[in-house]
Amino acid sequence: MNSLLAAERQIAWNWSDYFKNVVGEGASYNVALASAFSTISTILWIILGIVGAMGAVYAIWLGIQLARAEDQGKRDEAKKHLITVIIAVGVTVLLILFFNTLLPAILSAFNTQEGVDSFINLLRK
């Protein structure tokens, strides 16, 4: 890869910067795309907060159930649920971080102007 092209390329860490770099600030649909993805991104961050809070509360409740369990069967069941909650919250956090920050960065890092121009021409047809 040409180092001059890599030096000129800017990595976008959010969707609005990505659309500014790819489409250009003067394009009429840039505002619509940036607004739509900004709304989706905000909703995903809210979902992340809700899932994190609910997961923490449920994990605490499962920890209490694990501590209070009298027989081994109930302890094993509470432990399985606790592991499942930790995995589910972790996967949710990773997916939201991936779609909100890493995906625009990856797409902007591998963006070529020829690919963008052909995509815009395809949209115009």
Domain residue extents for the chain? 13-114
pLDDT reported for residue 9:
59
pTM: 0.68
* Averaged pLDDT, groups of 10, the chain, 125 residues long: 49 81 72 85 91 93 92 92 92 89 83 62 70
**How many whole angstroms separate alpha carbon 87 and alpha carbon 103?**
22
How many CB atoms sit inside 10 A of residue 121's CB? 9
**How many whole angstroms separate alpha carbon 21 and alpha carbon 117?**
12
- Among the listed residues 37, 27, 17, the one whose alpha carbon sits nearest the alpha carbon of residue 109: 17
71: tokens are: 């027989």
pLDDT reported for residue 76:
93
